[in-house]
Amino acid sequence: MTSPEYAHHFTIQNLPYGIASSPTHPTPQCATRLHNTIIFLADLHDAGLFSSIPALPANVFTNPTLNSFAALPQQTHSQIRHVLKSTLQQTGPPLALALPLPLPSTSMADISTVTMHLPVSIPSFTDFSASLPHNQNAGRIILGHDSLPPAFFHFPIGYAGRASMIAISGTPITRPVGHICIWEGTSAPEQTKKKKKEKNVIFAPCQSLDYELELGVIIGKPLARGTGLNAVDAEEHIFGLVVLNDWSARDIQSLEMIPLGPLNGKSFATTISPWIIPLSALAPFKTTGPEPRVSLPPHLQDPGAFNYDITVMAELEGEGLAGRTVMGRSNAKELFWSIRQMAAHLASTGCDLRTGEVLGTGTVSGEVEGSFGSLLEVTRGGRVGIGCVGRERGYLVDGDVVRLSAWAGEGVGFGECVGVVRAAALPN
C-alpha cells in the first residue's frame, strides 16, 4: 500500500510511470498516477485511447515491468504523454466521469488500495559520484584533509553496483554483517592516522549504517555495444528519473575498497521510488550547472542547461526523534556532472546501455550544514550525534525509517523512497 500524502507531487504536469497491482488488477502492470488516482494503462489501451499511435508492441502495458515501453523511441513516449495529458487534464480527481471513453471504473484505483512494484527489470546498476560538495565533505571526514578523487573534474567517477539487489520503496533493510576494522584505544579523529592492524578485523553487524540521497536515471532506448554517445544526445536514451537510496555500510566499505572499490558495503541493498518521472515532465526545470574546470573531450561537452532543478530531502524517523526530522535538503542542480554526461562517460569505451539499467547520481549534498545527503556528512563520520538525546554515535539504529523525497517544482514531484532498518540477521 502506498501513502497518499504526496498527491501534490503528481499533478497533470507530472504523469509518471510505474508498475501497480490492485484488488481489481492483481497482476502487476503499467500505470500512471494523477494526484491520488492510479490509472492502469492497459485499460486505456484496450479502450482505444492510443489507437492513433502506431507501432506499440503487444502487451506493452500488461507486462509486469516497464522495460518494453521504456525501450520505445522518445517520439512514441511523447505521443502517449500527449494523449494522456489531453485526456486527463479536463478535470481534477475524481476522474471516473471525466474520460471521453467508456472505461470501466476499475481502470482507476485510489493510491491507498494499490501495491507498487519494481518499475523495471534492472540489468545493470552504475553509481556515479557527481556532487562536488559530497566528495569534498567525504574527503575531509575520511582522510582528515582537503582531498578530491584525482579524476573528479575530468569525468563523472563511478562504480558498478549490484543491480539484482535494487528493491522498491518500502522494502525493509536488514543491517548487513561484514568485516570491520576496529581500532583499540584511540579516539575517532586519530583513527585515520593509525595504521590498520590485522588483529583488529572482526566479522560483525555493521556499526555505521548510512543512507545516500541520490537520484536514479532509468535508461530507456538501448544503446548497442560499440556505438558511443555524446552527452548532448544522451537524453534520447533516458526514460526518466527516480529517487534512489544507496544504503551504505561505512565500516564494511572502509576495509574493502582499497583498491577495488566498494562491494559488500553497498551490495546488500539499494532502494528506488516507485514512480519514474519522465524527462519531458522535468523539462521545464532544466537549468545550468557548474562550469567545467578543465577542457572536456567532445563526448562530455554539454553546454547550456544540462542540469535539473530538483530539490532532494532526507528525513529520519525513529528512536529519540520527535516524528519526521529533516536530516538534509539539497538540490540536484548543483551536481557537477549531468545525467547526460554520466551516460556518455559510461558509453565512451564502447560499453552498451540497456533498457531498465540504472545510473545513480551519487549522494546529492550541499556545502553547508543542513544540506548533507548522508549521515557520514551529517555526523562527520559518526563523531557527532544527529542532534537528539541518546544517539551519540550518529549512524542509523534498528527501527529507523529513512524517507527520501524529491520535487522539481509545483506539481512535479517524485513521491518518496522509504526504508525501515531491521536488526542484523546473525550468521548461522
| Catalytically active residues, by annotation | 134
Per CB under 8 A, does 182 bind its own copies? no
**Chain mean position to CA 34:** 21
Backbone angles phi, psi at 18, to 5 degrees: -150, 180
Per CB under 8 A, does 123 bind its own copies? yes
Comparison of 176 and 318: residue with beta carbon closer to its own copies: 176
Comparison of 73 and 228: residue with beta carbon closer to its own copies: 228
Mark out the alpha helices in 337-386 (DSSP H runs): 339-347, 375-378
Comparison of 77 and 345: residue with beta carbon closer to its own copies: 345
Separation between Cα atoms, residue 217 and residue 317, nearest integer Å: 27
Contact 112, 36 (CB under 8 A): yes
DSSP string of 35-99, one letter each residue: TTEEEEHHHHHHTTTTTTS--PPTTTTTSSSSHHHHTS-HHHHHHHHHHHHHHHTT--S--TTTS
Give the residue carrying C-alpha cell 583513527: 191
Q: How far is CA 285 from CA 46, 213, 310, 332, 410, in A?
A: 34, 20, 8, 11, 11
Per CB under 8 A, does 183 bind its own copies? no
Site size for its own copies, by CB under 8 A?
A: 64
Q: How far is CA 302 from CA 241, 284, 383, in A?
A: 19, 18, 39
Q: What is the 3-state secondary structure (H, E, C) of 9-32?
A: HECCCCCCEEEEECCCCCCCEEEE
**Chain mean position to CA 402:** 13
Per CB under 8 A, does 420 bind its own copies? no
Give the residue carrying C-alpha cell 569525468: 155
| CB atoms closer than 10 angstroms to residue 48 | 10
Per CB under 8 A, does 14 bind its own copies? no
Contact 116, 169 (CB under 8 A): yes
Per CB under 8 A, does 423 bind its own copies? no
Show the binding pattern over residues 71-100: x = contacts its own copies (CB under 8 A), - = does not.
Answer: ------------------------------
Per CB under 8 A, does 164 bind its own copies? yes
Q: Would you list which residues are annotated within the binding site for substrate?
A: 253, 363
Please identify which residue in 8, 196, 221, 286 interacts with its own copies, judged by CB under 8 A: 196
Show the binding pattern over residues 308-347: x = contacts its own copies (CB under 8 A), - = does not.
Answer: -------------------------------------xx-
Per CB under 8 A, does 250 bind its own copies? no
Rg (CA), the chain: 22
Q: How far is CA 310 from CA 152, 246, 287, 317, in A?
A: 22, 18, 10, 23
Q: How far is the CB of 194 from its own copies (least distance, A)?
A: 12
Comparison of 263 and 305: residue with beta carbon closer to its own copies: 263
Comparison of 333 and 345: residue with beta carbon closer to its own copies: 345
Q: How far is the CB of 131 from its own copies (least distance, A)?
A: 14
Per CB under 8 A, does 194 bind its own copies? no
Per CB under 8 A, does 248 bind its own copies? no
Per CB under 8 A, does 236 bind its own copies? no
Per CB under 8 A, does 200 bind its own copies? no
Per CB under 8 A, does 224 bind its own copies? no
Q: How far is the CB of 63 from its own copies (least distance, A)?
A: 18
Applying the rule CB under 8 A, the residues between 266 and 285 that interact with its own copies are: 267-269
Q: How far is the CB of 75 from its own copies (least distance, A)?
A: 23
Per CB under 8 A, does 259 bind its own copies? yes
Separation between Cα atoms, residue 98 and residue 147, nearest integer Å: 58
Q: Would you list which residues are annotated within the binding site for Mg(2+)?
A: 246, 266, 270
| CB atoms closer than 10 angstroms to residue 20 | 26
Applying the rule CB under 8 A, the residues between 137 and 156 that interact with its own copies are: 149-151, 153-155
Residues that bind its own copies (CB under 8 A): 123-124, 126, 129, 149-151, 153-155, 157-165, 174, 176-179, 181, 196, 198, 201, 203, 225-226, 228, 230, 249, 252, 255-264, 267-269, 294, 297-299, 345-346, 348-352, 354, 357, 425, 427-428
